[in-house]
Structure 1
Amino acid sequence: MTETHLDHVVLWVNDPLASLEFYEKTVGLTGVRAAEYAEGKASFPSVRVSAGSLLDLVPLTMAGSMNAIPGAEATAGQPVNHVCLAMDKQAFEALRGRLEDGGVAVSPYSHNSFGARGAAPRSFYFRDPDGNIIEARHYDE
Structure 2
Amino acid sequence: MTNHPVRLDHVVLWVADPAVAAGFYERMLGLEPLRIAEFTAGEAPFPSVRVSEETIIDLAPLTLAERMPALHGAADSAGHPVNHVCLSLSADAFDALRARLTEHAVPMTDIGQNSFGARGKAPRNFYFRDPDGNVIEARHYD
TM range (shorter): over 0.9
- Cross-structure match for 2:131: 129
Is this contact kept in 2: 1:109–1:124, CA < 8 A?
Answer: yes
* Structure 2 CA distance for partners of 1:92 and 1:68, relative to 1, 3 Å: farther
Normalised TM-score (structure 2): 0.93
Q: State the Cα distance separating 1:68 from its structure 2 match.
A: 5.4
- Cross-structure match for 2:68: 66
**Separation in 1, partners of 2:71, 2:118:** 29
- Which ranges of structure 1 fall in alignment gaps of 5 or more residues? none
Is this contact kept in 2: 1:23–1:47, CA < 8 A?
Answer: yes
**Separation in 1, partners of 2:29, 2:75:** 29
Q: 1:103 aligns with which of 99, 102, 105?
A: 105
Query: How far does the alpha carbon of each residue in 1:3-44 deviate from its partner, in whole angstroms, 9 at most, with x for none?
Result: 210000000000001101000011211101111101111000
Is this contact kept in 1: 2:29–2:97, CA < 8 A?
Answer: yes
Query: How far does the alpha carbon of each residue in 1:41-70 deviate from its partner, in whole angstroms, 9 at most, with x for none?
Result: 100000011110111000001111235521
Q: 1:46 aligns with which of 45, 48, 54?
A: 48
After TM superposition, list the pairs within 5 Å mapping 1:1-141 onto structure 2. Answer: 2-67=4-69, 69-140=71-142
Is this contact kept in 1: 2:13–2:81, CA < 8 A?
Answer: no
Is this contact kept in 2: 1:128–1:134, CA < 8 A?
Answer: yes
Q: Which runs of 4+ in 1 moved over 4 A?
A: none
**Separation in 2, partners of 1:30, 1:79:** 22
Structure 1 letter corresponding to 2:91: K
Structure 2 letter corresponding to 1:80: V
Over aligned residue pairs, what C-alpha RMSD do you find? 1.3
Q: Secondary structure at the match of 2:93?
A: helix
Q: State the Cα distance separating 1:2 from its structure 2 match.
A: 4.3
**Separation in 2, partners of 1:74, 1:35:** 32
Normalised TM-score (structure 1): 0.94
**Separation in 1, partners of 2:60, 2:102:** 26
Is this contact kept in 2: 1:63–1:74, CA < 8 A?
Answer: no
Q: Secondary structure at the match of 1:25?
A: helix
